[in-house]
Amino acid sequence: MVRQRAQDNPPAAGRPGSRAAGQPGSRAAGQPGSRAAGHANGTGGSASQPGSRASDRSGGPGYGGGVALSLAISPCPNDTFVFHALVHGQVPSAPPVEVTYADVDVTNTAAERGAFDLVKVSYAALPWLLDDYHLLPCGGALGRGCGPLVLTRGDGNGNGNGAGGPDRTDLTGATVAVPGDRTTAYLLFRLWSAGRPPARIEVVPFHQIMPGVAAGRYDAGLVIHEARFTYPRHGLTALVDLGEWWEADTGLPIPLGAILARRGAVDPEAAAGWIRDSVRRAWADPAASRDYVLAHAQEMEPDVVDRHIGLYVNEFTADLGDAGFAAVEALLGRAADAGLVPQTSSSRATAWTS
């Protein structure tokens, strides 16, 4: 197993559908060549047409005889902050890119078809993707204090109209809205609620989850990213922080989103170098990406954007390191033992040059 280590550190702080719980279901799939819609955080954002050069990016040296690299990321602030330099042709060794912005559930599905050369996916989707993609040790979202939340109405102690108190049994019989059935958030939820699952799971576009819970359409909702900063505005309470649960149970950071490089299309070592260069440039000059980040985070206040970046862009963004790889192996290993994902050998889950 080969792992390339980075020496950089961040500055301080700085589909509608339903089914019975635990049952597989169909997922919305963005088709290459069609306009990808959505936001990994459910807050809007623009989408670029796959197969066309993004208008917010300058050119760069060619790749593979002048062919541009296809890249799919979310429009959420951590992704646009990290990839700003790469998208805008500011990484000297990198090729030009054709960028698509899409919800992570869409990119998970598209990656199963090998739709993109570089793609942001959920770590939970890796067992279905590693035959065709390398896991890169950088660029993704992994950390501490940044896990998914289970939200309900009421005060979290059984008062109000929510799902009830903090014990997992309180969701028995409940309908829970989730952002995707192969998202890391949902995988963590299934591990947490093992043995006492809710009665019904509904896959819902992320931006509809908090309003739906507040309106009583769902008893609880599973949310990620900036929702941890904004859920009180909806009159909701956090029943459980799945990141805190995971960290207390394992001592490891929580692996959320991964960057993959398509086998046979992209040299993973080169791709890791481009991404790390882009990360270094983002940290060195945060103001350079500001307009780009805010343009895609259309419904976020600047202070929420800053908190979002400060939480999700961290030392693991530059290099997963031993703790990051251990977290990935622990998540997939536990999920496989529980029969939630296919078995994946640790070498294939963590080696990006094999």
Q: Which residues are annotated as a binding site?
A: 120-122, 184-185
Residue 282, burial from CB neighbour count under 10 angstroms (0-12, 13-18, 19+): buried
Chain-centroid distance, C-alpha 191: 18
Integer Cα distance of 66 and 95 in angstroms: 8
Residue 195, burial from CB neighbour count under 10 angstroms (0-12, 13-18, 19+): exposed
Which residues belong to the annotated binding site for substrate?
A: 120-122, 184-185
Give the dihedral sign, CA 227/180/114/266: positive
Q: Which two tokens stand for residue 212?
A: 């739906």
Q: Does residue 141 contact residue 312 with C-beta atoms inside 8 Å? A: yes
The CA-based dihedral angle spanning residues 121, 29, 338, 40, taken in that order and rounded to the nearest 10 degrees: 40
Is 225 considered catalytic here?
A: yes
Q: Which two tokens stand for residue 22?
A: 């635990």
Quote the radius of gyration of the chain (alpha carbons, Å).
Answer: 19
Which stretches does DSSP call E strand in 161-227?
A: 175-178, 200-203, 220-223
CB-hemisphere CA count at 13 Å for 348?
A: 15
Q: Which residues, including other chains, have CB under 8 Å from residue 120's CB and lie 6 or more apart?
A: 40, 72, 73, 74, 79, 104, 107, 139, 140, 257, 258, 259
CB-hemisphere CA count at 13 Å for 184?
A: 29
Q: In this structure, how many other beta carbons lie within 10 angstroms of the beta carbon of residue 1?
A: 12
Integer Cα distance of 122 and 78 in angstroms: 14
Whole-angstrom CA distances from 7 to 11, 163, 318 are: 13, 45, 8
Set 225, 234, 296, 308: catalytic member: 225
Active site residues: 225
